[in-house]
């Protein structure tokens, strides 16, 4: 019984965490750059019109990221 549960659990875990693809690497790098860019803009007055754009863009990027994971 224990062996069966382990064999069922293992493929599920591997499917949840796929091997890092180049796309995944670039998306992580892009998110790092994007967040550093928004934190830089936070101190300046340019950030006020930028927030609406960043929120919509972040939602789009997140949905695209989730689409590629599936």
The per-residue pLDDT for range 57-68, each reduced to its tens digit, is 777 777 877 777
- CA quadruple 65, 20, 31, 16: dihedral positive or negative? positive
pTM: 0.28
Q: How far apart are CA 53 and CA 49, in angstroms?
A: 7
> Which pLDDT value is given to residue 65?
76
Q: How far apart are CA 66 and CA 51, in angstroms?
A: 22
The number of beta carbons lying within 10 Å of the beta carbon of residue 57 is: 13
Res 7: pLDDT: 45
Mean per-residue pLDDT, 16-24 = 60
Sign of CA pseudo-dihedral 43, 44, 48, 52? negative
**Across 13-41, average pLDDT:** 63
- 8 A C-beta contact, residue 34 and residue 27: no
Kindly tell me if the per-residue pLDDT of 8 is higher than 50: no
**Quick check: 31 pLDDT over 70?**
yes
**Where along the chain do its domains lie?**
21-69
């Amino acid at each position: 019984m224990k062996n069966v549960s382990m064999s069922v659990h293992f493929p599920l875990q591997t499917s949840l965490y796929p091997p890092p693809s180049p796309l995944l690497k670039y998306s992580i790098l892009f998110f790092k750059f994007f967040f550093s860019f928004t934190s830089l803009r936070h101190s300046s007055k340019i950030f006020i019109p930028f927030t609406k754009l960043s929120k919509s863009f972040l939602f789009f990027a997140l949905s695209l990221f989730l689409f590629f994971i599936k």
